[in-house]
Amino acid sequence: MSGRAVAVVGGVTTKWGVRSATWPELAQEVGAALFRAVPELRAEEVDSLFVGAAEPERFAFQSHVAPLAAEQMGVRPHRILQRTELACASGQSAIRSAYAAIASGLSDIAVAVGIEKMNIPSMAEANSSMGCVMDRMWDGPHGATAPPFFAMVAQRHMLEYGTTEEQLAAVSEKNHRFANSNPSAQFHEKSFPRDKLLRLPLIAPPLRLGDCSSMTDGAAAVLLVGEESARRFTDTPAWIRGTGQYSDFHNLAHSGSLTDWVGLKTASREALRRAGIGVHDLDFAEVHDCFSISEIIEYEALGLCGPGEGGRFVADGRSSIGGEIVVNPRGGLLGCGHPLGATGIGQAVEVFHQFARTVPPARQVPDPEWALVHNLSGSANVHSLMVYQRGGAA
Amino acid sequence: MSGEPPRPRRPGGALSSEPRPEETPKNPPVEPKAKPVEALPFLLDFFPLEGAKETRLSRFYERLREGRVSTTRCPRDLELHWPPRTACPKCHSEELEWTDLPEKGRIYSFSAVLAGAPLGMEAEVPYAVGLVDLEGAPLRLFGRIEGRAWNALHVGESVRLEPYALPDGRWFYRFRAAD
Ligand SMILES: [Zn+2]
């Protein structure tokens, strides 16, 4: 890409799950973890802070969270301080904003943090908060939330291509298995035993409990710097080589083909073009498996397989270690949970540690050089992507 | 969700033209007098306020009371909108007209909420929702499907679009499957 090169040079996550901790406490926890993990970083050097947070107003009754996060984390940004909100992609939006700020010279050393507190006393109130991600005045009164929307996507994919419940379960099984080696993850294989997946309760048919990501409390943070200081922090910077985004609707009336995700095709073409690589150059991908069906369609829209072949792609092991590309080695949203604003940051943390070879061997991608991160948001109406390259020269 | 049956549709049928949204109707809308039944806090209630004081689209809700589900259309480029709008997204004209939507549609896709309903809808679980292609209009609407259990619905089957009253006097719309 043109301009100043930007890299992720450090990253941490808190434990994700149902946490006995408030939003500000999660901010303190992730701040402490970041400074422990990157001892070279002095707090006063952090000139900018980008806070990915989707719904702190609804889940923590707190607005103006950027200065709150800064105070909790012990930093005093003097260039750019802001919150980024893009529902499920709020975290990646923080990274994209930090990238743009550093590339432009406005910032030199920035932290992108994602924080979400989702488990609150009333589950029904939490469900309402998830529902207002949709067009709440028109789709909301019908009781629209994410599970029935993605269930309709799954129903169409099954109808048009013969995708099966077993293939959906193969996504869940793979990602929960990867999560076994991720102590930060909310769930592990034992929470969703393989032989029980098809007998778990239906949430929104055909989707069962194991097909759906969860309400999760958690935080994650990455450190981003310009090319001149990357080596101060790590020998294996994760260089941002490309990014792309596409949005094509909001009200569900305009969702078009539920199975052909044109927005993802468009955004990924842009991100890969900027990086100067093709999809088959990728060694691994962290994609947005908010539901099992999402990952299946993402294989197809990214061009890893043909239309309708996503179910077979995962069932045949082609997206696991030893296959053509490793998808969601971190454990995905299905395994790690989905603390909205933290998810995109957590994926970038995984990219950094995969490149640094500091993840447990069970999920280490062999010799990775190129990685892609994808988030969708809402009803898959927005797609946001980043392409990272390991080490090498700026 | 309970509610009285929809009132008969006005003669004239679908796609009849009506005054533009900002025009003051001759008979002002009847504001709901009763307080909402088991009222939710305003910011947790998905059903919108419908009066002319709260929205420039109050004609939409008035027309629901008349038994018609309608939307706006741009007379300049004939763009049919959903949801109804105050400005055309194509030419940005604010001179829009009201038009009735077709009553019949076919299910494109459906599912049901068996768990995880929003606040105030828990008692309605399980409820079916779907995307429905309207017959005779280039629109695919999302909505609740009443009238039959979710596991007896089928992709491609015919459903009817209908207004219904909420217990608190507000109105909304939904689909109904044949018995
Ligand atoms: Zn127009």
A-chain residues near B117 (CB < 8 A): 124, 127, 143, 145
Task: For chain B, give the mean pLDDT.
Answer: 86
Residue B179 burial (CB count, 10 A)? 5
- Taking the whole predicted model, whether its pTM rises above 0.95 is answered as no
Residue A391 burial (CB count, 10 A)? 15
Q: Is the model's pLDDT at B141 over the cut of 70?
A: yes
CA of B72 to the centre of ligand 1 (A): 10
Scanning A140-291, the segments in alpha helix (DSSP H) are: 146-161, 165-179, 230-233, 262-275
| A218-226/A6-13 β-pairing | antiparallel
- Give the residue from A237, A239, A228 showing the smallest Cα distance to A99: A239
ipTM: 0.96
Task: For chain A, give the mean pLDDT.
Answer: 97
What tens digit of pLDDT does each residue of A336-388 get? 999 999 999 999 999 999 999 999 999 999 999 999 999 999 999 999 999 99
Contacts of A109 (CB under 8 A, 6+ apart): A41, A45, A46, A47, A48, A223, A224, A225, A226, A229
Active site residues of A: 88, 338
CATH number of A6-121+216-233: 3.40.47.10
- Give the residue from A133, A138, A152, A379 showing the smallest Cα distance to A249: A379
CA of B91 to the centre of ligand 1 (A): 4
CB A318 within 8 A of CB A29: no
Residues facing A84 on adjacent strands: A52
Contacts of A2 (CB under 8 A, 6+ apart): none
Measured distance CA(B179)–CA(B176) in Å, rounded? 9
- What value, to the nearest 5°, has the Cα angle with vertex A294 and ends B146 and A372? 155
Interchain proximity A124–B122, CB inside 8 Å = yes
Measured distance CA(A12)–CA(A112) in Å, rounded? 11
B-chain residues near A125 (CB < 8 A): 44, 119
Q: Do domains A6-121+216-233 and A143-214+241-390 have the same CATH topology?
A: yes
**Per-residue pLDDT band at B179 (split at 50, 70, 90):** confident
What tens digit of pLDDT does each residue of B1-53 get? 344 444 433 333 333 344 444 444 444 444 555 554 568 999 999 999 999 99
**Where along chain A do its domains lie?**
6-121+216-233, 143-214+241-390
Interchain proximity A127–B155, CB inside 8 Å = no
- Give the residue from A203, A163, A182, A180 showing the smallest Cα distance to A296: A163
Tell me the mean pLDDT in the region A91-100: 98
What tens digit of pLDDT does each residue of A237-285 get? 999 999 999 998 999 999 999 999 999 999 999 999 999 999 999 999 9
Tell me the mean pLDDT in the region A205-224: 98
What tokens appear for A175 in the block? Answer: 């990602």
B-chain residues near A254 (CB < 8 A): 82
Percent of chain A whose pLDDT exceeds 90: 98
CA of B80 to the centre of ligand 1 (A): 9
A143-214+241-390 has CATH 3.30.300.30 classification: no
Q: Is A292 exposed, middle or buried (0-12, 13-18, 19+ CB in 10 A)?
A: buried
What tens digit of pLDDT does each residue of A1-28 get? 458 999 999 999 999 999 999 999 999 9
Facing residue for A251 by CB, picked from B44, B83, B130: B83
pLDDT given at position A3? 83
What tens digit of pLDDT does each residue of A184-195 get? 999 999 999 989
A128, A133, A208: best mutation site toward chain B, by most B Cβ within 10 Å?
Answer: A128
